[in-house]
Structure 1
Amino acid sequence: MSEQFFAPCPRGLEPGLQDELSALGAGKIRQVPGGVSFTGDWALAYAVNLESRLATRVLWQVAHGRYHGEQDIYKLAYGVTWAKWFTPEQTMRVYVIARRSPLKSLEFITLRIKDAVCDHFRTIKGVRPSIDTANPDVRIHAFLSTDEAMLYVDTSGEPLYKRGFKQAAVEAPLKENLAAGILRVSGWQPGETLLDPMCGSGTFLIEAAQIALDIAPGLGRRFGFEALKTLDESVWRRMRKAAEGRRRHVAKLPIYGSDSEGVQVKRARINLEAAGLADQVTLEQAELTERMPPAAEGVMVANPPYGVRIGESSELAEFYPKLGDALKARWAGWRCYFLSADPDLPKLIKLKATKRTPMFNGALECRVFEYKVIAGSNRREKA
């Protein structure tokens, strides 16, 4: 039976997510800013949760209707057959997002939807589910446009970029699905040398190693659909087993990470160990502007400091020219990709970006700057 789903993702990753969904067999795929809608059966929903590297969630649409006021949304939510999908013994939480909605209070709408679900259970079962805002069994999402409301059950639970193993965090982490999207934009392929010279908690390294070894990104975690009555345990068990059997076993990968701070290298190592990938990736402490390439050619990916994080423009003005000089001096033959919200990066790095791909890091509008470093690019500057 075909169901309607929506998979949100970071802005800029919609084309890649569409390709993922198409490869998994989704139907009626349609991109919108911030996500992709599609149709399919429950086995497809399991597969997208397990296999997608770019989706943030997989939401199952359970109601859709027009509204004029809060009471219309209450009626829409009350009429959904919630008791078919979970029990009043399970906890729940409601999330609401609105764009150009005339309604004044999202908090009040959230409360009305919660009341409608609880009233439905009280009518059908005589008892109501409890609310858990920290770790609910079931997440219900509502999206309001100018005059339409859509209700979804979250089949993912925790966001899909939480792969389930990362232990050591950094102050400004790069989400895993955004890292996977940048790897996709770079055109990097398994077998090609990859370096993250500002590796932080190791996100790029882990994502690349999992791609190279064909490890499904969701193998290390649980999902929201496992708490629903719709779960077909035999189908899900076979799917997981097949994904586990695909993993390639390689002693070493041409994937390298480094950082100027020893504490960051330690964090990356802890996370690689937790993911079972510490033996496959090479780590070292090194300053990007001083280190040597690990191979004659390859792909460099990095999330360098920019104004939002580093704070001081004088530090940026000092760092970026050094980075440009290092690339020209030692990295000929490499394709380099930097995520940055700083539009002045190309000017400061003093290299011409061959491509600029728009991408959002949360609410922050960024670009992935591509630099193809070729021999002889260190031309004399005009007097």
Structure 2
Amino acid sequence: MNKYFAICPRGLETLLAEELTAIGGEEVQAIAGGAFFSGDWTVCYRANLESRLATRILWHIVKGPYAKEDDIYRLAVRQLWPNHFAVSSTMRVVTTAIKCPLKSLDYVTLRVKDAVCDRFREDLGERPNIETRNPDVSIHVFLTENECTLYLDTSGQPLWQRGFRKASVDAPLKENLAAGILKMTGWQPGTPLVDPMCGSGTFLLEAIQVALDRAPGLDRTFSFERLRHFQALDWANIRSAAEARVKPAERMDIRGYDIDERAVRATRRNLQEAGFGNLITVDCADVLEVQPLTEHGIMVANPPYGERIGEQEELAAFYPQLGTALKRYWAGWNCFFFTADLRLPKLVGLKPSRKTPLFNGPLECRLFEIRMVSGSNRKG
């Protein structure tokens, strides 16, 4: 039984733990920034293929105490790295830390790199090459105040890179964060969904995959395929089962709009590249004029945050207009706004029924739920 750590955007840890349990993970435990779980290699393969929320899946190699860099070197040099990957593989070392007393994480990275190469040289007489940009294998070092944990990355490129978003506009949402937000809205396939500020279409792409029961990793490769423990037959069976599960593509009541024609073009291109070109509606329209076609449904939007000077004033003028549009057109709908601008509910003039803290990278945000009750839109 292997131990793993799945990294995810902060705020999605509980949902990730539920997802890993459903995938077959055992001893699942959510902590800040991700979740620990146990399982055999097939659970690892499935987590990489199926997880909509994880950023990457790390395989736990060893944990030990340290006081100085030499302790970390000794811990790393004792591991049987040649049993895990071939000397012909390119590698890199990534170090992260919380409350680490050591002066330089770069020096820790260098010492672990030396330890791994020294181990290969001792066992095989040669060492792997270092490749920092796109290596075959990544070793992750995690330091707390007095403990060092070494992991091998089983994912490779981050899992939010689904493999088919080719066009993007400014600051697109990462796919796993969009998937988590979609999950938090309670949206289910068959329920009307509208994103009136769709950008490059991330919410729409994630929703389509959920509706088709399509595993998010079907269009990509993973680092575990380059590890010595790789079980090709098991992986082929897992992939085949996931492919067989995908539902036939048909039109869905999912709509995307954006006032920017470039964004609409980007979304349409991404849908086309993913093979979802004719499944949903995407049009150029102002969020203040978009109207729903059904009495009930879910709206989800990621409005601009106003990070540049001058934008704050523009947003302060825009929000009351948004509030008016919501009251006029969206009665009966559940509306969700993901933003770092905490003024939104007050300036929109509608009280949120829920405020969920989430992080977009280092940026603290909120997912505001505003229930547009039919016939009663008084400010609470």
Name the TM-score, length of structure 1 as normaliser. 0.97
- Distance in 1 of aligned mates of 2:74 and 2:118: 11
Partner of 1:136: 135
2:200 corresponds to 1:201: yes
Alignment of 1:320-359 (within 5 A): 320-359=319-358
Which residue identity does 1:210 align to in structure 2?
Q
Partner of 1:177: 176
- Distance in 2 of aligned mates of 1:95 and 1:377: 53
Partner of 1:10: 9
Partner of 1:158: 157
Q: CA deviation at 1:377?
A: 3.4
Partner of 1:318: 317
Alignment of 1:8-47 (within 5 A): 8-47=7-46
Q: CA deviation at 1:102?
A: 0.7
- Structure 1 unpaired stretches of 5+: none
- Distance in 2 of aligned mates of 1:294 and 1:52: 32
Which residue identity does 2:180 align to in structure 1?
G
Partner of 1:217: 216
- Distance in 2 of aligned mates of 1:62 and 1:116: 14
- Distance in 1 of aligned mates of 2:247 and 2:308: 37
Q: CA deviation at 1:376?
A: 2.8
Q: CA deviation at 1:24?
A: 1.3
- Structure 2 unpaired stretches of 5+: none
**Does the 8 Å CA contact 1:329/1:378 hold for their aligned counterparts?**
no
Q: CA deviation at 1:87?
A: 1.2
Q: CA deviation at 1:355?
A: 0.4
Give per-residue Cα distances to partners, 1:241-280, cap 9 Å, x unaligned: 1100111013201111010011100000111111111111
Give per-residue Cα distances to partners, 1:284-315, cap 9 Å, x unaligned: 11001011113221100110011226852110
SS in 1 for 2:6: strand
- Distance in 1 of aligned mates of 2:293 and 2:148: 53
Give per-residue Cα distances to partners, 1:198-252, cap 9 Å, x unaligned: 1111100000000000000000100010111111000000110110011101320
Partner of 1:307: 306
CA change 1:310–1:278 in 2 (3 A) is farther
SS in 2 for 1:37: strand
- Distance in 2 of aligned mates of 1:91 and 1:103: 27
CA change 1:190–1:144 in 2 (3 A) is same
Partner of 1:112: 111
Partner of 2:229: 230
Partner of 2:253: 254
Give per-residue Cα distances to partners, 1:100-148, cap 9 Å, x unaligned: 0110100100000001011111111111111111110001101000000
Deviates more, 1:98-107 or 1:288-297: 288-297
Partner of 1:75: 74
- Distance in 2 of aligned mates of 1:113 and 1:310: 43
- Distance in 2 of aligned mates of 1:267 and 1:186: 25
Which residue identity does 2:357 align to in structure 1?
P
SS in 1 for 2:36: strand
Alignment of 1:260-275 (within 5 A): 260-275=259-274
- Distance in 2 of aligned mates of 1:109 and 1:195: 48
Number of aligned residue pairs: 379
Partner of 2:185: 186
- Distance in 1 of aligned mates of 2:209 and 2:309: 30
SS in 1 for 2:316: helix
SS in 2 for 1:208: helix
**Does the 8 Å CA contact 2:168/2:263 hold for their aligned counterparts?**
no
SS in 2 for 1:256: strand
- Distance in 2 of aligned mates of 1:307 and 1:164: 30
- Distance in 2 of aligned mates of 1:45 and 1:286: 43
- Distance in 2 of aligned mates of 1:34 and 1:157: 18
SS in 1 for 2:148: strand
Percent identity (aligned)? 54
- Distance in 2 of aligned mates of 1:352 and 1:207: 28
CA change 1:23–1:309 in 2 (3 A) is farther
- Distance in 1 of aligned mates of 2:212 and 2:158: 23
Partner of 2:292: 293
- Distance in 2 of aligned mates of 1:322 and 1:378: 15
SS in 2 for 1:188: coil
Which residue identity does 1:337 align to in structure 2?
F
Partner of 1:49: 48
Q: CA deviation at 1:90?
A: 0.9
CA RMSD of aligned residues (A): 1.1
**Does the 8 Å CA contact 1:78/1:119 hold for their aligned counterparts?**
yes
Which residue identity does 1:324 align to in structure 2?
G
Q: CA deviation at 1:74?
A: 0.3
**Does the 8 Å CA contact 1:141/1:151 hold for their aligned counterparts?**
yes
- Distance in 1 of aligned mates of 2:87 and 2:228: 12
- Distance in 1 of aligned mates of 2:375 and 2:194: 22
